[in-house]
Amino acid sequence: MRSALRRARLFWEVSCFLVFAALVLPVVALAQDAPGDGDVIDPNTDLGMWSLLVGVALPALVAIIERQTFPNWARVVIGLASSAVAAFVTTWLVEGDALWDQGMFHAFLLIAVASWASYQSFWKPTRLGPKIEKMTSPKSAPAPPGS
């Protein structure tokens, strides 16, 4: 009975977050001034906005990769590596061919900081990050009989 209630609560929490993300975050990201005659959108503004949004959602994806048994140093390496990959993909999607300029480094910093801050302020207190890790971790095999 308790596990069913826990699953229902986890489903409710994840559903609320996904509805929030689906409705609010795209509006924030697209809330840039539309280019007029002769106006140019500043790519750093677009890249910065998308980097922050990616950084907020990144802990959920990292929780799928991480396992509860991983040591802290492995968790840090996975977090930084995922931030670097996310920065590369975000820069490529937003700026196109200008991958190796300052924009990618700034995107990495924004994603890493937003990821850490969102994990500490949302994913960890609501226990969603650890719950995702637990759900995606392989189940340990039962002990063989007679041991």
Write down the domain spans for the chain: 2-30+43-134
> How sure is the predictor about 22, in pLDDT bands with cuts at 50, 70 and 90?
low
Cα 121 to the chain's mean position, in Å? Answer: 13
The more confident residue out of 10 and 121 is 121
* Winning range, highest mean pLDDT, from 2-11, 12-21, 86-95: 86-95
Q: What CA–CA distance (Å, rounded) separates 147 from 145? A: 6
Question: Does pLDDT of 78 surpass 50?
Answer: yes
Residue with tokens 């308790």: 2
Tell me what the mean pLDDT of segment 111-134 comes to: 86
Question: Does pLDDT of 1 surpass 90?
Answer: no
The dihedral built from the CA positions of residue 6, 143, 133 and 113, taken in this order, carries a sign that is positive
- For 31-74, the pLDDT digits (tens) are 554 444 444 434 455 788 888 899 999 998 888 888 878 888 88
The more confident residue out of 27 and 74 is 74
Cα 85 to the chain's mean position, in Å? Answer: 12
- Residue 138 confidence (pLDDT): 72
